[in-house]
Chain A
Amino acid sequence: AQSVTQLGSHVSVSEGALVLLRCNYSSSVPPYLFWYVQYPNQGLQLLLKYTTGATLVKGINGFEAEFKKSETSFHLTKPSAHMSDAAEYFCAVSPQGGKLIFGQGTELSVKP
């Protein structure tokens, strides 16, 4: 069965520091991969996705992620954290049309 593991349920960085949120997946076939962000009491917003083509994917708000098939990873990065980046981030894999399997989420805190 497909699964997603997000390493670290809480990550804290200083404003201006690098953001690195880790995501590993299990899949027998190349999957579609996603990162979503959720602000308090809101729904989920798509940050970026990998479906086919270039393995380095750029998303909104300065985030990017790199699909590494050999490592079954899809880590999310941002060079310089901003206070407004504080939120919960979810990695997800789509093993087939219609289904999304989520990781357990990583809460990002940004210290001034």
Chain B
Amino acid sequence: NAGVTQTPKFQVLKTGQSMTLQCAQDMNHEYMSWYRQDPGMGLRLIHYSVGAGITDQGEVPNGYNVSRSTTEDFPLRLLSAAPSQTSVYFCASSGAGTANYGYTFGSGTRLTVV
């Protein structure tokens, strides 16, 4: 019963480097989304997807790309890392129907950009 799996758990990047944060879920959930958590700001939505092949921007999409080629996977790409992207990143997934609606979160990736 894995739920939502995020890798890596910790990462240090140099300014300008690129990387991909991985997110996978094994619950056959239609909805998946990425958030960043910063002190005093709660969680802010970066990108989200309502199904394979469909993605959309959230509140803070600049500097990030996503794709959803399968139901299970929703990777987040940092194109050119900046210190302002230092944060904790969470991936989440949810079923689409009312009874199944309620996001399950991964354990997070703590990213530091130096």
User: B-contacting residues of A (Cβ < 8 Å)?
Assistant: 9, 32, 34, 36, 42-46, 49, 51-52, 90, 94, 97-105
Contacts and interface: CB of A to CB of B under 8 A. Distances in A.
A98 B106 contact: no
A99 B48 contact: yes
Contacts of B107: 42-43
7 contacts: A43-B106, A46-B104, A99-B48, A100-B43, A100-B45, A102-B43, A104-B40
A52 B33 contact: no
A98 B48 contact: yes
A90 B40 CA distance: 12
Contacts of A32: 101
Interface in B15-64: 31-33, 35, 40-45, 48-50, 56, 58-59
Given A99-B45, A100-B45, A45 B101 contact: no
B98 interface: yes
B98 A90 contact: no
B92 interface: yes
